[in-house]
Amino acid sequence: MNRNPHVAVVGATGAVGIEMIKTLEKRQFPLGQLTLLASARSVGKKLKFKGQDIAVKELTKDSFKGIDIALFSAGGSISKEFAPIAAQAGCVVVDNSSAFRMDENVPLVVPEINASDVKKHRGIIANPNCTTAITLMALYPLHTAFNVKRIFASSYQAVSGTGAKAIEELERQVNEVVAGKPVTMEVYPHQIAFNVLPHVDSFLPSGYTKEEMKMENEGRKIMHHPSFRASVTCVRVPVYRAHSIAVSAEFERPVTVEAAREVLSKAPGLDVVDDPENKKYPLPLYVAERYNCEVGRLRKDCAMDNGLAFWVAGDQLLKGAALNAVQIAEVLLK
């Protein structure tokens, strides 16, 4: 891999694409050149990188000549079509969609957990689902110490998970409610302002949604733990940016709060914020725009043997998407 790679961001004008550009700059990623790609309707739009204006180019089959690393965040259908083309052109793709996550030839990576899986890539590496990534930042260190068997979890997912239009929708609906106007809906099937929707992604015949099953399926692959089980209810909440997850985890080995706190305090990319006496616990509002995830509300689970309950929050546009992708690119350079 080129020491100063030519990097492309595909889906550059979307909520995650913009964060990818900011993250490359903030982390001083040693790129030689940056190309911004998006659909025809965004062509010519200018985005800033290190004080320079870079014009967005149209994504085509010929976009990847000479590009070393492509960070994709343009949705599953675009990834399915263009990621293999990019890989064939000799580019390494880090894909943020769900298109390749469960493909056995594609590593699914959270660098703090399974960075060495990057080496097995055949041109494409997948970024996990945002809720899964944020949950595993706290669950995996506990798993290494106590061996997780299963979890029960509920997610509190920000509208940014649906994209820039959903962020606008929440803002618009809040204003409509405050002004006493009728609420208009475009993105979600129900009003999201002052409401919660127990519906993220599409429903499966089992009654779970696809999003809910990602925690088990992707968790097994990332943690190299094929018998891991997860029963999850994913909920969209009127929060702009960061996801939170309430988790009850059952382990093979006995776990105490003290031992868990010790393990979590040493985990990379994670801060322990757990001082309920002083009303300190992870909050999506305060974890927004931060690289690290936060974990708190640690307590012995009173309904399970060897159980621990905890609450974890993280910026879904960063650790849940853009930051994780850039970290994977950093592993590629090592």
Given the residues 6, 91, 243, 293, the one annotated as active site: 243
Sheet hosting strand 69-72, strand order edge to edge: 57-58, 33-38, 6-10, 69-72, 92-95, 124-126
CA 47/CA 32 separation, integer angstroms: 17
Structure tokens at 273: 């914020």
How many other C-beta atoms lie within 10 A of the C-beta of residue 134? 32
DSSP percent split of the chain into helix, strand, coil, nearest 5: 35, 25, 40
Q: Is 6 a catalytic residue?
A: no
CA 171/CA 153 separation, integer angstroms: 28
Given the residues 91, 130, 234, 293, the one annotated as active site: 130
- Per the CB < 8 A criterion, the answer to whether 70 and 93 are in contact is yes
Strand ranges (E), the chain: 6-10, 33-38, 46-49, 52-55, 57-58, 69-72, 92-95, 124-126, 148-157, 229-236, 242-251, 270-272, 293-300, 307-315
CA 207/CA 54 separation, integer angstroms: 45
Tell me the one-letter amino acid at 218: E
- Per the CB < 8 A criterion, the answer to whether 115 and 122 are in contact is no
Q: Is 224 a catalytic residue?
A: no
Q: Which positions are catalytic?
A: 130, 243
